[in-house]
Structures are given as C-alpha cells and as structure tokens.
Amino acid sequence: MNSTIEASALNAPTTSELKYSRTMADLPGPKGLPVLGSALDMTGRQWHLTLAKWIREFGPVFQVRVPGGAMVVIADRTTAGALLRERPEQFRRTGGLKTVMNELNISGVFTAEGDDWRRQRKLVMGGLNAEVIRNFFPKMSAMAERMLRRWKTALAEGRHVDLRRDLKAFALDVTVGLAMGHDIDVVNHDGSQLQHDVDNMFRRLGARSFALFPYWRHFKLPADREADQSAENIEQAVIGFIRNTRERMALQPELREKPTNMLEAMIAASDDPDSDFTDQDLISNAILSVIGGEDTTANSMAWMINLLAQHPAAAAALTYEADTVLGEEPLVRDWELMKQFNYIEAAHSETQRLRTVAPFIGIVANADCVVADTFFPKNTAFVVSTTAEGLDETQFPDNDVFQPERWIFDHRPQKEENPVRKLMPFGDGPRVCPGRFLAMTEIKLVLSMLMHNFELEFDTHAPPIQQVMNFFMGPSAVPVRLKLRSVPDQR
C-alpha cells in the first residue's frame, strides 16, 4: 500500500491547479443494486465486517455506491493518517452523524468544527492531561480495589461475576469521578439508572447511525421514546453534577484558579465574561464526557479478557508481568509502577489490531481535493479505516492469531517498520481521542489487578462471541469465569 496525499493539493485554491490521474468514477468497488447501491450491506450491527471484506477484495482505495451518490473508503495507513491530520480545516465529520447525535442530545467537542472545536478542545484536553490523571490516580485505584472486593465476595458466595457489566460500571465510575468530581459507585449498585441510560443511548445511536431511513423523525417506536427519556435522564444527572459543583466552588473560590477536574475548569470558563464558552457548551461537553468515557474503554478491556482467556500462553505471560510488578500488593497503588506494564500495552495493541472498538471514522471533504492521485469534489464522504493494515497478512503474518509478542522489541523499530504506526485505535491528527491516556491507565490498572488475583476460564460451551456495532464495536458477551488465585499474602 503506497497511497499518499499531498497537503499542497488539499490546499490548492482552485480545481484547475490540482494534479491527478484519475477521478472517483475510475475507482473499483462493490456493484450493489440499482438505486440503492450497497446501502443494504451497510446496515445492521456488523457492517464493519462487510467493510473489512470489501477492503480485502477491492484494495486500499475504492468507492461504495449509496442512494444519491457514493462514498470513498480509504484503508491505507499513510493516506488515512494524512486525511485525519487535515481535520478540521480540510475535512469535517459527516453531517448525518452529527444530526443523529444532536437528536440524542450528544454534542460538545465531538461534533464541533472549526474555531468552535478549537475553543472546546483546549478546555476538554486540559481536563484529561497526564497531570490531571496522575492526581486522580489514587481515587481510580480505590475504585479498582472496590471492584476487586466485589469480585472476591461474589466468588466466595458462589455467585457469577458479570465482567461485561462490571467493566462498564467501572469505566463510568472513573469517567464521572475524573470529569465531574463525583464518586457515584456504579460498580456496587446493580441496576444503576445512569448506566442503563448510557447503554440505551449507545444502542439507539448505533441503530440510527446505520439506518436506511430516519423513521424516528416521522414516528417513534417504544425504543425511540425510551432513548429520548434516557437522554433527558442523563441531562438531568449532569445538570445535578453542575449544580453541586457550582455550590462547592462558591465555598472554595480557589477552585476557579486551580480547578481539580474537567467540570470545575469548564464552569470557571463559562462564568468568565471574557470567555466564549457558553452554558450550553458546558452542559454539552459534560454530557459527552459521561457518555464517551464508558463504552470504548470497557469494550477494549472486554475484548482483551476474551482473547486472553482463549490464549493461555498470553494470559500466563501477562500474569507473570503483573505478579512481578505488584509483588504482594493486590493492585497498583503507586503511579510509577504504571510504566512497567509492557506486556499489557502489547496485549492492548494486539487486541486493537484484531478487535478495535472504532474500526472506521467518517469524514467529509470541505473542498475539492486529490487523495491517492484521485480527484474528489467538495463534500465527498470518506470512510477511513483505522485497522485495515492490521488485518493485512503482508504487514502482520498470521494476522488472525492473537500474538502480543509481535509488539515487543529489544530495540525500537525504524519509523517505517514500527507496527504501532500501522494502526490508529484512537484516531490520528488534531482530533485524536482526548481520552486515550485515561483509557490506557484504566486498562493497565484493571488488567494487572485481574490477572494478579484471578485465573480466567473461558466457557467453551458458550455461543460464539459476535462483534456488535453499537456506535462503538464491542463483544456480544464475555463468557469468562473467574477463579481466585493462590497468590502471596496480600495486604
């Protein structure tokens, strides 16, 4: 794959100055049906698998016909990264996605564009930087220990541990704690309304994003009315967090100068008369932080656990690392130890290669452009694959095998040979996921705790695990049982 994109071509002022050898009509792609094109193949919860099949069939650049036109798939890492790095000036998010998200009251920095995005991004990034996460780490560790106690109690009482549910609950606890400054302890509250509402929102978001027709704008099914109620519930919960935080900041004025979490920083900005950050920006980004931090990280951990449970050698290697780093401690309490989990990082990279939670990103061209020596007119829709090269046999031999060792090196590879550069699990460019450092911190903390204290037993009689696309891609189940390990005397 040698497709490239030239920034000078993207920035050319007129179409006549662009140089190319082919147009969009010259690209290969699935034939599809009259009028509908390939639209029927792009619906449902597993259409990313269809996309992967097309990439193998048609190569790194091809078109997919849909009603009213066509969209272009980019599966070459170099070209895909170049496109994403040109956001937001040359490319924007797809209008359909933004509309669907706004209908469910999800907006903020994720859907913002241009100067509006820059203004909101700066503030959100300030609440997710390494220093903030390091300062929050003792509370995050306590949350993980709380989940450890829950699991040990369940096993002692002969009860099943629902890993899928608990991982989502933990991720939600961490997100609300870090972003909102509130410890809501969803892990220990089965039937949490907030967790139900977040899960419900993702199901509706996924269903609407891939729907052929936006029926809900004309009539609503019970699932749509329930989603509207979930959106209202989440907004009211966030408004409650904001109200409580404002009251605390009134009693502690120093928090305006030195906020301790994202919500305090956003409140200080929205209250500043010289700031362009509005109350609506505050509410929108607060809602986004609650919703966005749960599904991606929890799904990544769920996939890792499924794969480790099915690959005993990898599980043993990760367990050995966790035992070596943690010693007699049940989990990480010292932030400095987080640097020592090289195998967990490798297992995460291998998991994202095989089961990335965000397998593609949709963008639209703001102007005429040339990509991979092909001319595309303004408003062309692109689907950028984040993992195509990860499933390429020439790039990753035995690419269907889970091998974390392929990410561990005695010496750092040259840039062009570094496999890390062949994947984009968190996106790329200015709009790279702002929560990536937080996600990796959670993953290291939980996986090291899990493998240090428990053995994984995969249920071989369980139905096959499906890849389910609820906006983000997660497993249909985590059919893994925990068994308490005999480990050194723990405090």
If you search the block for the tokens 């095998």, which residue do you land on?
A: 401
Q: Angle 279-310/262-271 helices, nearest 10 degrees? A: 160
Write down the CATH superfamily of domain 7-484. Cytochrome P450 (1.10.630.10)
Q: 261 with 285: CB under 8 angstroms?
A: no
Q: Residues 6 or more apart from 27 whose CB is under 8 A from it?
A: 61, 62, 63, 72, 374
| Structure tokens, 334 | 């010292």
Chunked into runs of 10 residues, the chain (491 residues) has average pLDDT values of 43 67 95 90 84 93 92 92 91 88 85 84 76 89 98 96 95 91 92 89 85 90 93 91 92 87 83 78 82 84 97 97 96 96 96 92 93 94 88 86 89 66 82 86 97 96 91 92 76 42
- pLDDT tens string 402-461: 999 999 877 666 666 677 777 888 888 888 888 888 999 999 999 999 999 999 999 999
pTM of the model: 0.90
Helices (H), 360-402: none
| Structure tokens, 343 | 């195998």
Cα three-residue angle 56-62-64, rounded to 5 degrees: 100
| pLDDT the model gives residue 116 | 85
| pLDDT the model gives residue 416 | 62
- pLDDT tens string 16-62: 678 899 999 999 999 989 988 998 888 778 888 999 999 999 999 99
| pLDDT the model gives residue 8 | 40
Quick one: which of 468, 470, 467 has its CA closest to 208?
470
Rg (CA), the chain: 23
Instruction: Write the secondary structure of 309-342 as one string of H (helix), E (strand) and C (coil).
Output: HHCHHHHHHHHHHHHHHHCCCCCCCCHHHHHHCH
